[in-house]
Amino acid sequence: MPMKFGWLVVLVALGYSQFTLAGDAAAGQSRSALCAACHGATGTSPNELWPNLAGQKEGYLIKQMKAFRDGDRSDPLMSAMSAALTDADIENLAAFYSSQSN
């Protein structure tokens, strides 16, 4: 019986983690003006040198933006652009871009 309870706890925790990624897409859209210069107004890049953000998974976008901001991933432009972003900014931007279609 304890083993079944352990799996139940894991499944509940995994399910809960899906709901904790909910940033505010409207706030993300209003914060995305600087991003639009390279990634396009809705996250579809006008230049093949920069990736499309539209339709990417929210958790992936959060992970990558935090990696640039925190120095775990380096790019001269992205590291500088993300330096001033708060966790809430990143979550909101990720919510906005993940809600867009590519």
Please state the domain extents for the chain.
24-98
Residues of the chain with pLDDT under 50: 10-11, 16-18
pLDDT at 7: 52
pLDDT at 11: 46
pLDDT at 23: 95
Q: Give the tens place of pLDDT for each residue, 52-79.
A: 999 999 999 999 999 999 999 999 999 9
pLDDT at 22: 84
Q: Which CATH class is domain 24-98?
A: mainly alpha
How much is the pTM? 0.79
Q: How many CA atoms lie within 13 A of 55 on its CB side?
A: 6
pLDDT at 13: 52
DSSP 8-state class, residue 32: -
